[in-house]
Amino acid sequence: MKTAIDGKIIASTFMISLILAFLVLNGMVSDWGRLTGGFGNLKNFFYQSLWPPDWSVLEPQVYPVCTARYPFEFTCSTAWIGVIETIKIAFVATVFGMALSLPLSLAAARNLSPRWLSYSSRFILSAFRSLPSLIWAIFFVILIGMGPLSGVLAMTVYTVGYLGKLWYEAMEGLNKTPLEAAQAMGLNKYETALNVVVPESANDLISHSIFLFEYNFRSGTIIGIVGAGGIGYYIDLYLRFLQYDKVVAYLLIIFLVVLIIDFLSIYARSFFNEEDDLRIPSWSEVFLGIFSSANEADDLSDR
Amino acid sequence: MQTDADLNEPLLILRDVAIGYHPSDSLVNIPNLEVFPGEIVAIAGPSGIGKSTLLRTIAGLVSPITGRLEVCGAIMPEKPPRGHLGYIPQKLGLVRHASVKHNVELGARAGIKSRKLRQQRSIEAIDIMGLSEKSAEPIRRLSGGQQRRVATARTLAQRPKLILADEFLSELDEETLTSVLEAVTDYVRESKAALIVVEHDISRAKMMADKLLVIDDGRINPFVKGTKAMEVNM
Ligand SMILES: Nc1ncnc2c1ncn2[C@@H]1O[C@H](COP(=O)(O)OP(=O)(O)O)[C@@H](O)[C@H]1O
Ligand SMILES: [Mg+2]
């Protein structure tokens, strides 16, 4: 930071950006009238095709015959099967992505690595990140065929690109004194990474990983569409048959799972709270936290 | 471990060293300084003059602008002596999210191969600093004074030949201060190590040190030799 942060500068920069954004948008839009028509269309579409959601997606499929007993028949439904497969793909991809991101982010952090190494690692990370996971999925489907493995590989590559960046930024934000103390005491890079960098940035590393897991779960809906497995397969199927009410049911289920992952994220991060780290928040506090900002959630859990 | 010949070799040599962060703008010039085993040297001077920078240079974290710097016979900063240099930075440099034990063991990490021995040394050092009960606590839950004692324990567990301590006695109450100071000076005298300590409190500096270096206006005044430091004009 070259200069101290000044509230006035932040506020005016933000206002100027906002005005600029409106001007740019106005330049791109030729007819604002379409917006009002759009609302009408949306209303018709919503009541005719989307609402109410068709919850039959939670009923067991006709084939294969469901062997689960009451009240677990829903585990034979397309929604359940799809969600579980997407969660599995997202989990495997996130864990593999974490394993690959660790060395790459350590190498990319400018405070930990020489310049040449940092630049080349950043190059790899941004190459991985520059294509969305959908494109990686198409690539792997072409390469090794349809199925969950393509999904896992696509998500892993994208996870490395994204998580690696978040992680090296967290590492670069570390206070330099512990690193200097380690260097002076004669610890090598490997010992310093394991014993200083990782524990000191664990809070960020974990919350970014959970964020990437949630991101991967959401993008699982998209990459399923190109045949890379998961709930996206069913969404694609019903989109083709124009059964939008079933699609809406799937989307609501996805929303629910994302909320649950958010719960888990705040819960996991609460173990690393600065103020009082052993205080585990109650579920209601966590739930309130989702609708306020992450910082406010931390405040809540401190009470 | 150390032979008699070693004891006559200085642990630290500075010759015509200029330190600072910009080549054109040196903070302190040190014509000649040698520190021998068993010696305690205090550095005093007004704040912002470059005391911490001097320690960071000796620790190999900042390159000297000019001159020759040797620590334990190794040329700095190219070839730092792995594990022989203990450093207690002014801001301590503890891993805040990790436990007291983890932090103290870090000190022993570079110099001691056996994991068992590292743990044993750490337990001893934590005990000497009176932190046994806090051993499993994360650093951020300790008071400022307790954190200083952790940083000191980290250095004691390391058993270095040369200790650099940057105002490590501040924030300690009188009683703790005496015991911490005693532990460190005992270690230095017994192991024939050397201690270089930045101490803004001149009377305290004189009490503990054999030599007192006063940095004044960018130069180190000719220091005073003797068993106890004598009057130094500022
Ligand atoms: N990393 C740095 N880069 C550039 N200048 C620095 C840096 N750290 C300290 N300084 C400057 O160097 C001078 C000496 O600082 P320092 O050695 O911390 O003084 P002291 O410990 O004697 O109070 C100060 O003017 C300070 O602003
Ligand atoms: Mg200082």
The verdict on the CB of residue B27 being under 6 Å from ligand 1 is: yes
Nearest to B159 by CA among B33, B8, B2: B2
Same domain for B170 and B141: no
Same domain for B207 and B109: no
* B214: Cβ contacts below 8 Å, ≥ 6 apart: B43, B44, B45, B220, B221, B223, B232, B234
Determine the pLDDT at residue A133. Answer: 84
DSSP for B132-143?
GGGTTSBGGGS-
Nearest to B111 by CA among A189, A187, A190, A179: A187
Nearest to B11 by CA among B82, B70, B94, B99: B70
Ligand 2: centre distance to CA A60 (Å): 71
Determine the pLDDT at residue B221. Answer: 62
3-state secondary structure of A185: helix
A296 close contact with B: CB closer than 8 A:
no
Positions in chain A short of pLDDT 50: 276-279, 290-303
- C-alpha torsion angle, residues B70, B74, B78, B84 (rounded to 10): -100
Higher pLDDT, B45 or A157: A157
Substitution site in B47, B52, B196, B219 for ligand 1 pocket (most atoms within 8 Å of beta carbon): B52
Predicted confidence (pLDDT) at residue B135 exceeds the cutoff of 90: yes
Same domain for B68 and B2: yes
Do residues A150 and A137 lie in contact, with contact meaning Cβ atoms separated by under 8 Å? yes
A33 close contact with B: CB closer than 8 A:
no
Ligand nearest to the CA of B45: 1
B5-12: average pLDDT = 78
Same domain for B107 and B193: no
Paired sense of beta strands B162-166 and B85-88, if any: parallel
CATH number at residue B204: 3.40.50.300
Question: pTM to 2 decimals?
Answer: 0.80
Report the residue from B56, B86, B140 with minimal CB separation from A185.
B86
* Last residue of one domain, picked from the residues B106, B124, B152: B152
* A82: Cβ contacts below 8 Å, ≥ 6 apart: A224, A230, A231, A232, A233, A234, A235, A250
B4 within some domain: yes
Same domain for B105 and B216: no
Residues of chain B in contact with residue A195, where contact means CB-CB under 8 angstroms, are: 95, 98, 102, 106, 109
Q: For residue B88, what is the enclosing H or E element? A: strand B85-88
Determine the pLDDT at residue B112. Answer: 83
Determine the pLDDT at residue A296. Answer: 39
Instruction: Please state the domain count of chain B.
Output: 2
* Last residue of one domain, picked from the residues B116, B133, B152: B152
Same domain for B113 and B214: no
* Last residue of one domain, picked from the residues B152, B170, B187: B152
A77-273+282-302 maps to which CATH number?
A: 1.10.3720.10
B79 within some domain: yes
Local confidence band at B207 (pLDDT 50, 70, 90 cut-offs): confident
The pair of three-digit structure tokens given for residue B128, joined into one six-digit string: 């000497």
Paired sense of beta strands B162-166 and B66-71, if any: unpaired
Cis geometry, peptide bond prior to residue B222 (ω within 30 degrees of 0): no
Determine the pLDDT at residue B232. Answer: 45
Determine the pLDDT at residue A21. Answer: 92
Nearest CA residue ID for atom 4, ligand 1: B21
Question: What one-letter code names the amino acid at A61?
Answer: Q
Do residues A158 and A136 lie in contact, with contact meaning Cβ atoms separated by under 8 Å? yes
Q: Are the Cβ atoms of B85 and A184 closer than 8 angstroms?
A: yes
Same domain for B170 and B146: no
Cis geometry, peptide bond prior to residue A178 (ω within 30 degrees of 0): no
Q: Which atom of ligand 1 is nearest to the CA of B54?
A: 17
pLDDT tens-digit map of A245-264: 888 888 888 889 888 888 88
Determine the pLDDT at residue B228. Answer: 37
The verdict on the CB of residue B46 being under 6 Å from ligand 1 is: no
Determine the pLDDT at residue A172. Answer: 95
B16 within some domain: yes
Q: Are the Cβ atoms of B81 and A186 closer than 8 angstroms?
A: yes
Range of the domain at B62: 1-84+160-234
Determine the pLDDT at residue A9. Answer: 86
Q: For residue B97, what is the enclosing H or E element? A: none
Nearest to A172 by CA among A114, A220, A106, A237: A106
Same domain for B118 and B27: no
Do residues B160 and B85 lie in contact, with contact meaning Cβ atoms separated by under 8 Å? yes
The pair of three-digit structure tokens given for residue A77, joined into one six-digit string: 């439904």
Do residues B194 and B38 lie in contact, with contact meaning Cβ atoms separated by under 8 Å? yes
The verdict on the CB of residue B25 being under 6 Å from ligand 1 is: no
Q: Are the Cβ atoms of B158 and A200 closer than 8 angstroms?
A: no
Determine the pLDDT at residue A47. Answer: 76
Do residues B29 and B216 lie in contact, with contact meaning Cβ atoms separated by under 8 Å? no
**Which residues partner with B162 through β-bridges?**
B85, B194
- C-alpha torsion angle, residues B127, B133, B138, B139 (rounded to 10): -50
Local confidence band at B233 (pLDDT 50, 70, 90 cut-offs): very low
Nearest to A154 by CA among A121, A169, A132, A174: A132
Report the residue from A187, A203, A274 with minimal CB separation from B110.
A187
Report the residue from B60, B91, B111 with minimal CB separation from A184.
B60
Residue B64 CA to residue B50 CA, distance in Å, equals 13
Same domain for B143 and B184: no
Residue A210 CA to residue A191 CA, distance in Å, equals 26
The pair of three-digit structure tokens given for residue B209, joined into one six-digit string: 């040190």
Report the residue from B93, B111, B140 with minimal CB separation from A177.
B93
Q: Secondary structure of chain B: what % helix, strand, coil (to 5)?
A: 35, 25, 40
A272 close contact with B: CB closer than 8 A:
yes
**Which residues partner with B15 through β-bridges?**
B32, B68
B46-56: average pLDDT = 91
Nearest to A233 by CA among A242, A243, A224, A241: A224
B155, exposed or middle or buried, with CB in 10 Å at 0-12, 13-18, 19+? buried
Question: What one-letter code names the amino acid at B156?
Answer: L
B60 within some domain: yes
Q: Which of A185, A205, A275, A277 to mutate to test the interface with B (most CBs of B within 10 A)?
A: A185
B217, exposed or middle or buried, with CB in 10 Å at 0-12, 13-18, 19+? exposed
The verdict on the CB of residue B94 being under 6 Å from ligand 1 is: no
Report the chain A residue with the minimal C-alpha distance to residue B85: A185
Q: How many CA atoms lie within 13 A of B23 on its CB side?
A: 1
B91 within some domain: no
Nearest to A257 by CA among A213, A289, A301, A209: A213
Determine the pLDDT at residue A298. Answer: 42
